A and B are shown apart, each in its own frame.
Chain A
Amino acid sequence: MAPKRPESVQLIKQRRDAALADLVSSIPYIQFLGVHFDRRGDELTAVLTYRDSLIGNPGLPALHGGATAAFLEVAAVIELGWANLWRQMETGQSEANAPATSPLIKIPKTIDFTVDYLRSGLPRDAYARAKVTRSGRRYASVFVEAWQDNRTRTFAQATGHFLMPDITDAKIKV
């Protein structure tokens, strides 16, 4: 019997994208806030779609600091949850027979989150990218920044510490 052909990377990526979309749409608060994710290779960009209900200062007007913080936190947590998965995929440790939609990913818990407000958030879409600075067995440190029209003009940045889900009962399955 001929050995089974390995699954194409494109197929695996499609499955990952579907699982990411499932995860994001399963969390009511992410839907309430209006955040979605755009993946280009291993780079994940969080997108906050503008709505009038995100305004915190109607006079300026400017985005609410809490909405900005929540957006950054969502971007950080999803990046953290998925950084591990991509690493597994690149090293060929991907599981070929898992069903297409079973996002049994345990979400890391936020320990603390510190936001710097550098400019006021304008009434338009915002984008964020997170970088996992350190990811250990129990704790992870993540830096995240957000911008609007110009990538170099960061309007908010944050650092957060996260408690990683218990590895023994949280086998990542996609």
Chain B
Amino acid sequence: MEIDKKVVAQKFMEAIPHAKDLGIWIESIGEGVVEMHMKYQEKLIGDPATGVIHGGAVFSLLDTCCGAAVISHPEQKGLTATIDLRVDYMRPATPGETIRAKATCYNVTKSVAFVRAVALDANDQKPVATATGAFVAGDA
């Protein structure tokens, strides 16, 4: 049952055109816990002077990862939609490095799922960005 859900989530995430366009893939998926990666690409550069990736691309990665964390949660039936998402940008991502996002859906009520996530590059100690959000629980 749970395995089926994970397969469905993986298939669904891979069918998202914008995630595919950004080069996002699922690294691992558990129960309410998902890790997604996004490869460094020149088309994602937000500051041509430094080659740093645009914050919008990091936001997309975190949003996608958070949504997947909700879908993979055992108490969530079906898909979801973002109600709100806040991203704090701690530092510029190092150019050339893959961005890794790890999201945890830590609480699901009847109608709302609460999620937090972190985005890292090759440096495990200092996050690039963190996210906190509320998502639709139940039928999206």
Q: Which A residues form the contact surface with B (CB < 8 A)?
A: 26-33, 52-59, 62-67, 69-71, 73-74, 107, 109-117, 120
Q: Is B107 an interface residue (CB 8 A)?
A: no
Q: Is B43 an interface residue (CB 8 A)?
A: yes
Neighbour of A66 across the interface among B46, B59, B86, B88, CB < 8 A? B59
With A54-B17, A112-B87, A112-B88 known to touch, is A70 a contact of B56 (CB < 8 Å)? yes
- For the complex formed, measure the closest distance between the CB of B84 and the CB atoms of chain A, giving whole angstroms: 5
Q: Is B7 an interface residue (CB 8 A)?
A: no
Q: Which residue of B lies closest to A107 (CB)?
A: B47
Q: How far is the CA of A32 from the CA of B44 in the complex (A)?
A: 7
- For the complex formed, measure the closest distance between the CB of B137 and the CB atoms of chain A, giving whole angstroms: 15
Chain B, interface residues (CB within 8 Å), range: 35 or more
Q: Is B79 an interface residue (CB 8 A)?
A: yes
Neighbour of B56 across the interface among A33, A58, A111, CB < 8 A? A33
With A27-B46, A29-B56 known to touch, is A67 a contact of B89 (CB < 8 Å)? no
Point out the residues of chain B lying under 8 angstroms from A107, CB to CB.
47
Q: Which residue of B lies closest to A116 (CB)?
A: B84
Q: How far is the CA of A64 from the CA of B21 in the complex (A)?
A: 11
- For the complex formed, measure the closest distance between the CB of A113 and the CB atoms of chain B, giving whole angstroms: 5
Q: Which residue of A lies closest to B83 (CB)?
A: A117
Point out the residues of chain B lying under 8 angstroms from A53, CB to CB.
17-18, 20-21
- For the complex formed, measure the closest distance between the CB of A67 and the CB atoms of chain B, giving whole angstroms: 5
Point out the residues of chain A lying under 8 angstroms from B17, CB to CB.
52-56, 58, 64
A-B residue pairs, 7 tightest by C-beta: A66-B60, A70-B56, A29-B54, A64-B18, A114-B86, A66-B63, A53-B21
Q: How far is the CA of A117 from the CA of B84 in the complex (A)?
A: 6
Contact, CB under 8 Å: A29 / B63? no
Contact, CB under 8 Å: B59 / A69? yes
Point out the residues of chain B lying under 8 angstroms from A114, CB to CB.
84-87
Q: Which of B44, B88, B89 has the most CB of A within 10 A?
A: B89
Point out the residues of chain B lying under 8 angstroms from A28, CB to CB.
42-46, 48
Q: How far is the CA of A56 from the CA of B22 in the complex (A)?
A: 11
Point out the residues of chain B lying under 8 angstroms from A115, CB to CB.
59, 82, 84-86
Interface string of B23-49 (1 = CB under 8 A from A): 000000000000000000011111110
- For the complex formed, measure the closest distance between the CB of A51 and the CB atoms of chain B, giving whole angstroms: 9
Contact, CB under 8 Å: B43 / A67? no
Contact, CB under 8 Å: A55 / B43? no
Interface string of B107-118 (1 = CB under 8 A from A): 000000000000
Contact, CB under 8 Å: B59 / A29? no
Q: How far is the CA of A53 from the CA of B43 in the complex (A)?
A: 14
Contact, CB under 8 Å: B85 / A73? no
Point out the residues of chain A lying under 8 angstroms from B62, CB to CB.
66
